[in-house]
Structure 1
């Protein structure tokens, strides 16, 4: 379906779901899709994710960008604070992921790579079941399938993990891959991680270390990498900002690498490296 028709379709769906939304919705500006919400214009930035060794770019994480209407310099994620109730926040969260999916479609370089999207924690608390069903329909309209999507979920490490575990199981049943984001910020409970059973665990920036503390960071990340492999998980190390951090992350055995040193969030995607096909025997 052409982009203009997709935007028209999703705007119609928004008006039906939120009749009082007024002028809010999607628009195409300079060849990119934007989202108007609460007096702001929102866009998408893509940050590359690099694979292990010489794998190169294997996917991108989408970040929300405030394009206009935010003279106070409020961080993009603070837009969610503008939601008037849980229903509107859930609707906004899905709209933001739809925005990112639409802009991902415009990227010729993304073919073969995955798109990583953040899910707001309130959606998990507000939606009781059938997680991923509504967004699967959005992806289908965009010509994407859940196996191309990594959903990043936050876990504070303290509350009852039962609801989050159910949501993860339902997402995975539909074919999405799941990453637990910022692991180690609040808690590094491996038994809890095993119960949640994601596909990927992304370490919090506090664990990557800084100059003078990289030896400790290497020991911690090496141990966590070993535990991740034991649990059958992939390990992602993010917020890599200098060559020493990159060296530590690689030596620790990280599967995914991400950070400003490897690529800052940008409007366009970097070329994705496609795996080589094995040669046939002569």
Structure 2
């Protein structure tokens, strides 16, 4: 389905036919970028590259950029924190759809994996069968679930049975799954084993400490070894300095992400791109 027709269909499905004159809708900007207006705010997609140990690009994580009614920047985290449960689910759905549309318009065949952030509640709803429309959007954009990584942050405070079941169901449908910000709230390896994601993304606090503290670097290395023993791939994110990259490489991480690697941008890097900093560090 051509993208303009798909956007019209989505606006009809989500908002009863709302278009540029309506309050909540998707629209195409002058540069062919897809934007979303939701609750009086403007939402855009940014993509941050994720590279492998040898420096080659494997994909991008999609991030939201938000402007308020007056054009001021707004923190996406604040919007989700202030939203009701129903509004947060709608925001998650809208954001994932927006990111897929923007990812696809750039020539998805050359862009590798697409990582999307979901709340635990949204992932539960997704696994419960509410992803049918999302799957239709993927198919219309020429993408398969195998190209998508579903990222969720686990706070570690609740019983993980339901979340583990949701992760298993999503994996069974072909999606990759990731626990995001591991180490911010909990470093429980047994809980991580029960959740059984494909990928574990280390929180910035771990690599931040390991970048300049010898003991923290040792602890990080031991924890990463345990995670790799479970057969999960490791992403070291929020890398902002050569020292942090060096610590991440020493820990045995498989993938790398952060401002030193590449800043979020509306334009994806080509799949064959290699990051010189990582190439030099792995040599």
Same fold (TM over 0.5): yes
Instruction: Say if 2:34 is the partner of 1:42.
Output: no
* Residue of structure 1 in register with 2:29 after alignment: 29
* Residue of structure 2 in register with 1:259 after alignment: 258
Distance 1:212 1:125 in 2: 35
TM-score (norm 1): 0.88
1:67 Cα shift? Answer: 4.1
Distance 1:17 1:173, change over 3 A: farther
1:226 Cα shift? Answer: 1.1
Instruction: Say if 2:94 is the partner of 1:95.
Output: yes
1:129 Cα shift? Answer: 2.0
The 10-residue stretch of structure 1 (72-81 or 158-167) with the greater mean CA deviation from structure 2: 72-81
Distance 1:45 1:33 in 2: 11
Q: Check whether the contact 2:111–2:270 (CA below 8 A) recurs between aligned residues.
A: no
Instruction: Say if 2:193 is the partner of 1:157.
Output: no
Distance 1:211 1:93, change over 3 A: closer
Distance 2:88 2:209 in 1: 36
* Residue of structure 2 in register with 1:246 after alignment: 245
Distance 2:230 2:204 in 1: 22
* 2:240 alignment partner, SS class: coil
1:65-214 equivalences in 2 (<5 Å): 65-67=65-67, 69=69, 73-81=73-81, 83=83, 85-108=84-107, 111-124=110-123, 129-130=128-129, 132-210=131-209, 213-214=212-213
1:124 Cα shift? Answer: 3.9
Instruction: Say if 2:218 is the partner of 1:219.
Output: yes
Distance 1:60 1:166 in 2: 26
* 1:129 alignment partner, SS class: helix
1:141 Cα shift? Answer: 2.1
> 5+ residue gaps in structure 2?
275-283
Q: Check whether the contact 1:132–1:174 (CA below 8 A) recurs between aligned residues.
A: no
1:127 Cα shift? Answer: 6.3
Distance 1:130 1:274 in 2: 36
The 10-residue stretch of structure 1 (93-102 or 69-78) with the greater mean CA deviation from structure 2: 69-78
Instruction: Tell me the C-alpha RMSD between the 2 structures.
Output: 2.5
Distance 1:17 1:224, change over 3 A: farther
Q: Check whether the contact 1:208–1:214 (CA below 8 A) recurs between aligned residues.
A: no
* Residue of structure 1 in register with 2:279 after alignment: none
Distance 2:224 2:7 in 1: 42
**How many residue pairs are counted as aligned between the two chains?**
271
Distance 1:195 1:34 in 2: 38
1:77 Cα shift? Answer: 2.9
Distance 1:210 1:218 in 2: 7
Distance 2:211 2:128 in 1: 47
Distance 1:73 1:236, change over 3 A: same
Distance 2:210 2:147 in 1: 36
TM-score (norm 2): 0.87
> 5+ residue gaps in structure 1?
276-282
